[in-house]
Amino acid sequence: MVATRHFMYGKLHRVTVTEANLDYVGSITIDPLLLEAGGIYPHTRVDVVNITSGERIQTYVIEGPKGSGAVCLNGAAAHQFKAGDLAIVMGYEQVDVSELAGRKSRAVLVDGNNGIVEVREYQTPGLDKLGQPGNNRLGECYPQRQVGVGAV
């Protein structure tokens, strides 16, 4: 039997929730430009963390209008998110342990309108490479931004 681990391959970091829709059957609707940048496929499971309230849910992704900046929590999830909340959307995959070292993860940084500002890639170190100064991300901060037109 092969050992596997859940690997966070991509995240949308500090997106602004644009809508919370109780009347939809479920999931999270996301602008396909954001999905592509994060490597996240429609109909796949994601964790969504509400930075504003601390709530955390699991759901699946559906595609919204391209270029819209849409991040809409649907169905029951709409009870835990509201428009204007900041959130992190994280996609995971099962990976053979032997394939983890060297595997890359993406972080998509956005502006106040969920426009892509930067895509960062991080390479996973092997266990024999832990503790090296270049791996230390303690205190790494993402740029702060304001929500609204033209914000960065």
116-123 vs 45-50, strand pairing mode: unpaired
Q: Is the dihedral of CA 36, 42, 46, 49 positive or negative?
A: positive
Q: Considering the candidates 24, 41, 60, 142, report the single residue annotated as catalytic.
A: 60
Q: How many helices (H) and strands (E) does the chain have?
A: 1, 9
Active site residue 53: no
Check 27, 53, 92, 142 and give the catalytic one.
27
| 9 flagged as catalytic | no
* Contact (Cβ atoms closer than 8 angstroms) between residue 52 and residue 16: no
Cα separation, 67 vs 14, in Å, equals: 17
Using CA atoms, how far apart are residues 152 and 7, in angstroms rounded to an integer?
29
| Residues with catalytic function | 27, 60
